């Protein structure tokens, strides 16, 4: 089995405009300050404060045209204060920021003492009149309330106009792992241009061109999910859908949450009526069990200095597949499939995930964030008409031929640094490391296992694979019985932003690199059969074992 690899190697960009970085999910506040007669006021100190900021306050000063912009703001609720000697201070409260939204907050200052403060409470700006992007943002409260599988794919399907190319339909969390292999497009674009990110770093599968795959962001530790469908900046090499997960950072107060859901076969209905049984239908496809447990907790290690936020997620599901095991499984000289009605087959999948984020305000001008996520997944006991891997492109699979898709583990590490050197100059840098170690064994098959002595059979008349182990791409044709694959993807980025009034000049780079090692093997004979209603019609020979080393 040959594993494909697609890599985005290098992006260099220069941005001049009126918008912040969509790629890094930076919100901003901008506006104009005037006096009571409408004259523009230069030199006004503008401060944006929020519990979401570990540094408490970010500030700017209006230029000669009375304009200002405060960039690199985390999602949250802000208060904006305007002060200038000889004028009363003005404070605007309740400014909600999300994604890369730019809130326009203007102020009119009255002559008076700075000690006098006029507090203005009103509706937060809801229209971004500065940017050209078309971004949809779902915060943690919305995600918790939505009856979805809580995955990038199930959330993206809620965006109007999005077209899905799904590896599976995740209905009620019954195929969450199968659904992570979905792709999306919009406005007639290519689904190959879709990308998933965590905090502005690509976290899609190393082998899928960073689009989708083995990484499953933990929504329990997610502050918000932004889905950008058009209007991408020069920081991106693609023009498709961008899904960015922004992790929670913690705060000066301890907070936590717990999400629990599940069901069992006793709560599942059945449409297998007596009439269908009389027509020969013996079983139906239904849920055996599903569960999802997602605790999260965060707070201060040192107030205003060091915050943490961590989360774990344990979810899984088992689904009956509408077929039965093979009575002849493991019998050496028997080449037929006979259903065992005492053994209804089901697939079994689960995921274990833990992550932690630390945010350290080193000093007033330097902030460092570190994020680590480790995931272990298994699409186990892939039998019957399993949604993605076990299905083998529409084929039914008996238990002795079923594959198990292990990912152990997927590790993601992110480090970001930001420094507002002055009110006008912002420096940013970051690095990411992703390691994927996955295998497609048939119940831990390795060379020497006696099950490798059974040749796989695909019966094209019944569309059933049985007798010997195989995986997608080799069903009944001597395909690989196990594949081990390890890949590493380091990423680097840096940027310099200069703010002049309401305008931003930004220059920087992104780089991504892939290194991989694959190894694969097949059964002891190196071939497999295709039957038609029990009669052999084709033999396919394969060249294995093999190893592949590569980088890009």
pLDDT in tens, 377-417: 887 766 655 433 334 456 788 888 877 777 777 889 999 99
pLDDT score at 473: 44
Going by pLDDT thresholds of 50, 70 and 90, the confidence category of residue 542 is confident
Residue 121 has pLDDT above 60, yes or no: yes
pLDDT in tens, 275-311: 887 877 766 777 888 899 999 999 999 999 999 999 9
Percent of the chain with pLDDT over 90: 27
Going by pLDDT thresholds of 50, 70 and 90, the confidence category of residue 61 is very high
Domain map (residue ranges) of the chain: 24-121, 133-247, 319-551
Residue 359 has pLDDT above 80, yes or no: yes
pLDDT score at 131: 62
Contact in structure between 418 and 426 (CB atoms under 8 Å): yes
Superfamily of domain 24-121: Carboxypeptidase-like, regulatory domain (2.60.40.1120)
Question: Coil, strand, or helix at residue 192?
Answer: helix
pLDDT score at 7: 39
Residue 266 has pLDDT above 70, yes or no: yes
The count of other CB atoms within 10 Å of the CB of residue 59 is 15
Contact in structure between 106 and 80 (CB atoms under 8 Å): no
Q: What is the mean pLDDT of residues 12-37?
A: 65
Tell the CATH topology of 133-247.
Ferric Hydroxamate Uptake Protein; Chain A, domain 1 (2.170.130)
Closest CA to 323 of 336, 306, 341: 341
Higher pLDDT, 5 or 195: 195
| CA 442/CA 431 separation, integer angstroms | 36
Residue 515 has pLDDT above 50, yes or no: yes
pTM more than 0.85: no
Contact in structure between 489 and 512 (CB atoms under 8 Å): yes
Residue 335 has pLDDT above 80, yes or no: yes
Q: Side-chain half-sphere of 97: how many Cα atoms within 13 Å?
A: 31
Q: What is the mean pLDDT of residues 341-349?
A: 83
DSSP string, 373-442: EEEEEEEES--BS-SSTTTTTT-EE-GGG---EEEEEEEEEEEEEEEE-SSSEEEEEEEEEEEEEEE--S
Pairing type for strands 89-97 and 57-61 reads: unpaired
Higher pLDDT, 341 or 418: 418
DSSP bridge partners of 355: 311, 373
Mean pLDDT, the chain, integer: 79
Residue 6 has pLDDT above 60, yes or no: no
Contact in structure between 25 and 428 (CB atoms under 8 Å): no
Give the least confident one: 324-328, 480-484, 516-520.
Answer: 480-484
Using a 10 angstrom Cβ sphere, with 0-12 exposed, 13-18 middle and 19 or more buried, the burial of residue 270 is exposed
Using a 10 angstrom Cβ sphere, with 0-12 exposed, 13-18 middle and 19 or more buried, the burial of residue 259 is middle
Token pair listed for 58 = 């970010």
Going by pLDDT thresholds of 50, 70 and 90, the confidence category of residue 18 is very low
Q: What is the mean pLDDT of residues 156-176?
A: 70
Residue 210 has what DSSP assignment? T
The count of other CB atoms within 10 Å of the CB of residue 95 is 21
Contact in structure between 156 and 243 (CB atoms under 8 Å): yes
| CA 473/CA 469 separation, integer angstroms | 12
pLDDT in tens, 430-439: 999 988 877 6
| CA 261/CA 146 separation, integer angstroms | 13
pLDDT score at 10: 39
Contact in structure between 84 and 53 (CB atoms under 8 Å): no
| CA 514/CA 523 separation, integer angstroms | 30
Residue 40 has what DSSP assignment? B
The count of other CB atoms within 10 Å of the CB of residue 331 is 12
Which phi and psi (to 5°) does residue 271 adopt? -105, 20
pLDDT score at 482: 57
pLDDT score at 452: 79
| CA 382/CA 405 separation, integer angstroms | 8
Closest CA to 384 of 368, 372, 395, 373: 395
pLDDT in tens, 424-458: 899 999 999 988 877 665 555 666 777 778 888 88
Question: Coil, strand, or helix at residue 104?
Answer: strand
Residue 117 has pLDDT above 80, yes or no: no
pLDDT score at 387: 38
> Taking CA 90 as the corner, what is the angle to CA 87 and CA 91, rounded to the nearest 5 degrees?
160
Q: What is the mean pLDDT of residues 149-174?
A: 73
DSSP bridge partners of 546: 520
Higher pLDDT, 364 or 271: 364
pLDDT score at 19: 40
Residue 476 has pLDDT above 50, yes or no: no
Residue 522 has pLDDT above 80, yes or no: no
| CA 177/CA 216 separation, integer angstroms | 8
């Amino acid at each position: 089995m040959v594993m494909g690899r697609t890599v985005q190697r290098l992006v260099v960009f220069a941005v001049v405009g009126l918008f912040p970085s969509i790629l890094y999910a930076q919100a901003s506040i901008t506006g104009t300050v005037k006096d009571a007669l409408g004259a523009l006021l230069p030199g006004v100190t503008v401060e944006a404060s929020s519990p979401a900021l570990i540094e408490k306050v970010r500030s700017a000063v209006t230029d000669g045209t009375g304009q200002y912009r405060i960039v690199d703001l985390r999602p949250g609720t802000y208060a904006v204060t305007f002060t200038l000697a000889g004028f009363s201070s003005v404070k605007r409260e309740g400014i909600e920021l999300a994604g890369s939204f730019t809130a326009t907050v203007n102020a009119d200052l009255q002559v008076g003492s700075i000690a006098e403060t006029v507090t203005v409470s009103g509706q937060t700006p809801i229209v971004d009149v500065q940017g050209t992007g078309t971004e949809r943002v779902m915060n943690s409260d919305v995600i918790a309330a939505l009856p979805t599988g809580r995955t990038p794919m199930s959330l993206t399907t809620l965006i109007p106009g999005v077209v899905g190319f799904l590896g599976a339909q995740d209905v009620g969390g019954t195929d969450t792992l199968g659904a992570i292999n979905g792709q999306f497009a919009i406005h007639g674009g290519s689904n190959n241009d879709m990308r998933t990110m965590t905090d502005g770093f690509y976290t899609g599968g190393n082998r899928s061109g960073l689009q989708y795959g083995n990484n499953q962001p933990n929504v329990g530790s997610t502050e918000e999910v932004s889905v950008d469908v058009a209007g991408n900046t020069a920081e991106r090499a693609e023009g498709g859908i961008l899904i960015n997960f922004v992790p929670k950072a913690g705060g000066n107060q301890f907070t936590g949450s717990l999400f629990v859901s599940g069901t069992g076969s006793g709560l599942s209905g059945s449409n297998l009526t007596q009439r269908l049984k009389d027509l020969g239908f013996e079983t139906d496809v239904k849920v055996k069990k599903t569960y999802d447990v997602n605790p999260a907790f965060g707070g201060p290690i040192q107030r205003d200095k060091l915050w943490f936020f961590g989360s774990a997620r344990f979810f899984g599901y088992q689904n009956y597949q509408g077929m039965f095991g093979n009575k002849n499984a493991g019998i050496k000289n028997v080449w037929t499939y006979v259903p065992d009605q005492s053994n209804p087959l089901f697939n079994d999948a689960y995921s274990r995930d833990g992550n932690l984020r630390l945010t350290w305000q080193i000093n007033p001008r330097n902030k460092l964030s570190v994020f680590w996520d480790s995931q272990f997944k298994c699409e186990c006991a892939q039998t019957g008409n399993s949604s993605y891997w076990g299905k083998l492109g529409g084929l039914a699979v008996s238990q002795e031929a079923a594959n198990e898709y292990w990912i152990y583990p997927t590790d993601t590490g992110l480090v970001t640094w930001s420094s507002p050197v002055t009110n006008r100059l912002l420096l940013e840098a970051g690095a990411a490391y992703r390691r994927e170690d996955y295998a497609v064994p048939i119940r831990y098959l390795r060379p020497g296992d006696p099950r490798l002595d059974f040749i796989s059979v695909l019966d094209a008349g019944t569309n059933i694979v049985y007798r010997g182990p195989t995986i997608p791409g080799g069903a009944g044709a001597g395909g690989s019985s196990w594949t081990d694959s390890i890949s590493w993807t380091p990423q680097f980025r840096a940027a310099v932003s200069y703010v002049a009034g309401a305008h931003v000049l930004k220059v920087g780079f992104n780089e991504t690199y892939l290194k991989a090692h694959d190894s694969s093997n097949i059964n002891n004979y190196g071939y497999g059969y295709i039957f038609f209603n029990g009669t052999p019609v084709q033999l396919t020979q394969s060249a294995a074992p093999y190893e592949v080393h590569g980088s890009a």
